[in-house]
Amino acid sequence: MSHEPESIDRSAPMPSEQSPLPEPAPDVEREVAEAMAAMSPAELALLSGDVPVSARSGTLPEQVEPGTEVTATVVGVTDDEVFLDLGTKLQGALARSQFGKKETIDIGRRVDVVVEGYDADSGLLNVARKGQARRAAWTTLAIGNLVEGRVTGLNKGGLEVDLKGIRAFMPASQCDVIPMKDISVLLNQVVQCEVIEVDRRHRSVLLSRRRLLERQLVESREKLLTELEVGQTRKGKVGNITDFGAFVDLGGVDGLIHISDLAWSPVAKVTDVLQPGQEVEVKVLKIDRKRNRISLGFKQAQPDPWIGIETRYPVGTQLKVRATRLADFGVFAELEQGVEGLVPISELSWSRVARPGEVVTPGDMVDAVVIRVEEAKRRIALSMKQAQPDPWSGILESFSPHSLVTGKVTRLADFGAFVELVPGVEGLVHISEMSDQRVRSCEEVVQAGQEVTVRVLGVDAGNRRISLSLRAARESAEVAEMPAEDMHRPSAKQTKKRKKPLRGGLAWDWGEAAQ
């Protein structure tokens, strides 16, 4: 006896043997295509049965919990959202704003995300990019979460922040890395913060923007330290200024500009060149990664004014310079910004100079001549006296031998006294030419600053020397007072000849000169 249902006709062909189904009409095919094109990836997933039943019912799948980190694949992009395939037949939606404005989002791109929750209406998991702010919800809020909200109010001690329906508080001390004088500047701004305390019972949430900024600074610092190389030119902002230099923030990393690297010319005070908050361009001079020290140069980021200095200022160039500093050995003068030359004390004037301050004062504009240039050593020697007429020019005509002249005693030496006849021209009265009597010290006869009348014994223009005599001048005065019959009778002193030259002056035979 057969137990097979009588309703089954075995002679009928099996489904696989049945004739193919008729093709749908073209207009039906078109309508289906248009309908599917307008559907979201989530709706397509529901239609195809790819979304788990637990997801369709509004609860998260057991294998997915809030906070789960997943590497997803981009399957669709709109202006507001990016749709992702999380694997195991799960799909999620990510806000487009969590990608950079210029960031390219291609289909098939892999993205690290964190699961936040499930949206029953769309059938999609709500996710956020790893390291980005999440959507706050009481069920998912936890200490350490990064959230985004709008500052809505200001109260005693801090700010009120709206986390899309959840009211949170940010203490003033947690608003920034550096204490803010006025936290109201954050009002109505969208800020990213870290959750530092959650009390679900009393519906209280504390936030910290400071912790997020500190973490970002550390990350930025580590990245910058790996990118920094000696010789690079970087932009930064001047921070703290000290007596020895200025610190510059390069974007999370501070470097020091020593005062000697501020300008090509000497700098007295750092504030003469830089001010706090100033945007500057600097050059990396040295990196000590073990001690996290970076040396920067401000002047090195500027053109070196000493390059080509020999071409711009050849020897013999006449120019005006500004006296900047005085030293015992001369005067420093600025030719152009960053280029200083030295006027040695011997080149300040044709007259003898004891101290540079006698001739010039810092800030004075003076005429000078370039007398030496050493580009490799960054040295330029200048002369102020050579920019003026040489008083020794025509000296033979002005001071002929045997003439009487008046001058001022400028200084005394063991061997005689120097007398200035005209500015820049001095003669020497040897101690033996001071008096008929034996003179042990010049001070016995003359004093510095005293005006005296002397006779010119001789002139050596080549060596710039003039020999003078006080004794001969007095004898001339005595001869003028003698009777006429005695004037032509030479005295024993006048006929006496010298055998040795005098120290410090010229040897002249006065007896022969008188003849």
Strand partners, 409: 419
| pLDDT of 374 | 93
Strand partners, 327: 330
- Does a structural domain hold residue 252? yes
Q: Looking at the structure, tell me whether residues 510 and 412 fall in a common domain.
A: yes
- Does a structural domain hold residue 17? no
Closest CA to 211 of 153, 260, 146: 146
Q: Looking at the structure, tell me whether residues 366 and 445 fall in a common domain.
A: no
- What's the average pLDDT block by block, 10 residues per block, for the chain (515 residues)? 41 42 52 52 46 41 68 86 82 78 82 77 76 63 86 89 87 90 90 90 89 86 85 91 92 89 88 92 90 90 90 93 93 91 92 88 93 92 90 77 88 90 88 87 88 88 86 69 52 49 47 37
CA dist list (Å): 457 to 299, 429, 465, 505: 59, 10, 11, 10
Q: Looking at the structure, tell me whether residues 440 and 493 fall in a common domain.
A: yes
Tokens of 455: 């006779």
Q: Looking at the structure, tell me whether residues 429 and 500 fall in a common domain.
A: yes
CB atoms within 10 A of CB 206: 19
- Does a structural domain hold residue 224? no
- Does a structural domain hold residue 108? yes
Amino acid at 336: E
Alpha-carbon distance 40 to 46, whole Å?
A: 10
Alpha-carbon distance 333 to 352, whole Å?
A: 20
DSSP label of 68: -
| pLDDT of 30 | 58
- Give the predicted TM-score (pTM) of the model: 0.48
Strand stretches in 403-510, DSSP E: 404-413, 416-422, 425-430, 451-460, 465-469
What does the pLDDT look like over 195-211, one tens digit per residue?
999 988 888 899 999 99
Alpha helices, DSSP H only, in 166-308?
209-227
Closest CA to 508 of 477, 467, 475: 467
| pLDDT of 8 | 37
- Does a structural domain hold residue 102? yes
| pLDDT of 282 | 94
- How is 285-336 classified by DSSP, letter by letter? EEEETTTTEEEEESGGGS--TTTTHHHHS-TT-EEEEEEEEEETTEEEEEEE
What does the pLDDT look like over 457-476, one tens digit per residue?
888 887 888 899 888 878 76
End-to-end Cα separation, the chain, in angstroms = 181
| pLDDT of 418 | 92
| pLDDT of 330 | 94
Using DSSP's 3-state secondary structure scheme, residue 396 falls into: helix
304: CB partners within 8 A, 6+ apart: 264
Q: Looking at the structure, tell me whether residues 415 and 486 fall in a common domain.
A: yes
Q: Looking at the structure, tell me whether residues 77 and 46 fall in a common domain.
A: yes
| pLDDT of 169 | 93
- Beta-strand relationship, 245-249 and 124-129: unpaired
Strand partners, 368: 319
Range of the domain at 274: 230-301
CB atoms within 10 A of CB 187: 13
CA dist list (Å): 86 to 56, 113, 118, 488: 16, 9, 13, 134
Q: Looking at the structure, tell me whether residues 480 and 408 fall in a common domain.
A: yes
Tokens of 340: 């200083």
Q: Looking at the structure, tell me whether residues 288 and 321 fall in a common domain.
A: no
| pLDDT of 53 | 36
Alpha-carbon distance 364 to 498, whole Å?
A: 50
Number of domains composing the chain: 5
Q: What is the CATH number of the domain that holds 259?
A: 2.40.50.140
Using DSSP's 3-state secondary structure scheme, residue 149 falls into: strand
The answer to whether 427 touches 439, Cβ cutoff 8 Å, is no
- Does a structural domain hold residue 92? yes
- Does a structural domain hold residue 67? yes
Q: Looking at the structure, tell me whether residues 103 and 35 fall in a common domain.
A: yes
Q: Looking at the structure, tell me whether residues 249 and 279 fall in a common domain.
A: yes
Q: Looking at the structure, tell me whether residues 293 and 354 fall in a common domain.
A: no
The answer to whether 296 touches 248, Cβ cutoff 8 Å, is yes
Half-sphere CA count of 264, side-chain side, radius 13 A:
18
| pLDDT of 57 | 36
Q: Looking at the structure, tell me whether residues 509 and 401 fall in a common domain.
A: yes
What does the pLDDT look like over 73-126, one tens digit per residue?
888 888 778 888 887 778 888 877 777 777 778 888 888 888 877 777 677 887
- Does a structural domain hold residue 6? no
| pLDDT of 64 | 66
Alpha-carbon distance 306 to 308, whole Å?
A: 6
Closest CA to 58 of 135, 123, 127: 123
